[in-house]
Amino acid sequence: MTRTSRSSALAAILAAFALVLGLAPAASAQSVMPISPPGLPQLENAPVPVPPVPGLPVLTYPVIGPERPDAEYGGVSIFPTPDETVGVAQPVMFFFDRPIRDRARAEATLGVRTEPPVSGKFYWISDTEVRWRPHHFWPANSSVTVWAGGKRQQSFRTGDALVAEFDDNTKLITVTRNGQHVRTMKASAGRAGWETYNGIYYTGQRGREVRMNSEAFGLRIEDGGYDSIVNDAVRMSYDGIYIHSAPWSLADQGVRNVSHGCINVSPEDARWYYDNTRNGDPIIVKNGPGRPFGAFDGQGDWNY
């Protein structure tokens, strides 16, 4: 199907939904939504049940939402950002403008709709942040709409299922895209005393140049620490584990673990990984001597 014919088909689907509901179709849902007057049903948005079209906003249509309690918060921010494309391990994050006293009530003000449909769960990171994720990784190329108590409504999509797995037995990272092997990278993880945690991570903040200082976690420079700039660094955990370029450990990659917990790869592999990943792509570390990566870290969502 050509892009023109696909766009025409999507427009026809939206028009059909509008005809059934007696409402104009919504192209996307990115703004603060007004609360319906008392006695009238609350309109929320749901993703159109067709695959998302790259380069276009997430297409949505209006639906009647369930009865929801009044929100005790004044404002809320949502991540992923409007119309962002994320990896299949990215949770939905809600940040409230004040501490929440009644968590169940706050959850009842929130809504997550997906296409295709998936089930999931809420879990709290703090009194001001709750998250929602599917029970399993998102399907590739899903569309999602998020509702937050009349304070905010927006949409995002997932892209391909790009999954990286580091096996400490082989010191290799295997990368698949939608189940098909695309790259193998030699790597070096955390050495004795600094073992990389085993578990499921996902990619977050990144930078072409990232300053790393071991004194941030208590290791002084004079005691074998470091203060240096690393290239093509992608964060894996809140406490500072990255996958990044490490030309100084090329001879160790694929052979032994020599880092302070980060995943070291070659400059070529680091550049490829940086360029081919986005927020929320899963990284799995297995068979290492480190402890399990769990709820103690803000990017450990998939380990509990």
**How far apart are the C-alpha atoms of 220 and 222, rounded to whole Å?**
5
Amino acid identity for residue 162 in this structure: L
Structure tokens given for 254: 């694929």
**How far apart are the C-alpha atoms of 232 and 23, rounded to whole Å?**
47
Amino acid identity for residue 128 in this structure: T
Residue 259 DSSP symbol: B
Q: Is 181 known to be catalytic?
A: no
Contact criterion met (CB below 8 Å) for 93 and 81: no
Contact criterion met (CB below 8 Å) for 297 and 241: no
Contact criterion met (CB below 8 Å) for 280 and 86: yes
- Tell me the pairing of strands 143-148 and 110-115: antiparallel
**How far apart are the C-alpha atoms of 27 and 70, rounded to whole Å?**
27
Among residues 135, 136, 260, 262, which one is catalytic? 262
Q: Is 260 known to be catalytic?
A: no
What DSSP line would sit under 109-163, residue for residue? TEEEEEES---EEEEEEETTEEEEEESSPPPTT-EEEEEETTTEEEEEEE---EE
* Cα-based distances in Å from 85 to 57, 155, 233, 238: 10, 10, 20, 21
Q: Which of 301, 178, 166, 154 is nearest to 243 (CA)?
A: 166
Q: Which of 146, 172, 134, 161 is nearest to 65 (CA)?
A: 146
Among residues 135, 136, 181, 244, which one is catalytic? 244
Active-site positions read 244, 262
